[in-house]
Structure 1
Amino acid sequence: MTYDVDLADRLRELLTGEPGLTERKMFGGLAFLVHGNMAVAASSQGGLLLRCDPERGEALLAEPHTSPFVMRDREMTGWLRVEPAGVTDDAALERWAEIGAGYARTLPPK
């Protein structure tokens, strides 16, 4: 499955103007990076792949349409998936994009 091009376009529109923003194909999707740190991606599995502050991870996973990001049978702390149903609304997508970009801004540039 390829990533949702419309979702990637919506993310691009929301993140345009973010200092240090770049795009890169990663994990089969299209990732948006802030100063080289992944913030959010249109996932190849549908919906979003989101990077967040690990201290907020559990609280965010309690929200509807979220699940842990699993890589090689291991849950990745500070990463989560947001199902397509969780990003149909523009306000919800903007919130998730800001969570990812906000966390990426706190990381040292790569």
Structure 2
Amino acid sequence: MAYNEDLEKRLDFAIGVFPKKIADQISKKKMFGGLAYLFKDKMTVGIVKNDLMVRILGSKMDNILKMENVRPMDFAKRPMKEFVYVSAKGYDSEEQLQHWIELGLEHAQDKLRNGP
């Protein structure tokens, strides 16, 4: 198993709760040896093995990294800018998962408005 398929089902369900105009613009793509969810081709969240990968606005990174069960995404042994991994305990509840999806969407929407 390259990534947690149960988490994929949870993400699919959680994204389906968003308004149709948002949910319909989210696609899935295999990336990083896992699965990424993209909003208008901008990465939001994803799954790498059992971790939830989340794109976070740079202005929120310091506070997010202080949270339990969160660490910098260190794909290829280097931290990636504006990416974090969340371990399973950090997305255990549906409310927690929804929060991470919202942060990922916030990042994508900001990049669409303001560019890289």
TM over 0.5: yes
Which stretches in structure 2 are left out of the alignment for 5+ residues? none
Is residue 40 of structure 1 aligned with residue 45 of structure 2? yes
Give the C-alpha shift of residue 79 in structure 1.
Answer: 0.4
Which stretches in structure 1 are left out of the alignment for 5+ residues? none
| Aligned length, in residue pairs | 108
How far apart in 1 are the matches of 2:77 and 2:48?
18
Determine if contact 1:69/1:79 at 8 Å carries over to the other structure.
Answer: yes
Partner of 1:29: 34
Partner of 1:10: 10
TM-score with structure 2 length normalisation? 0.85
Partner of 2:88: 84
TM-score with structure 1 length normalisation? 0.90
Give the C-alpha shift of residue 106 in structure 1.
Answer: 1.6
Matches within 5 A, 1:45-60: 46-60=50-64
Percent identity over paired residues: 27
Determine if contact 1:49/1:79 at 8 Å carries over to the other structure.
Answer: yes
Relative contact order higher in (CA < 8 Å, ≥ 6 apart):
1
**Structure richer in helix, relative to its length:** 2
* Cα RMSD for the two superposed structures: 1.5
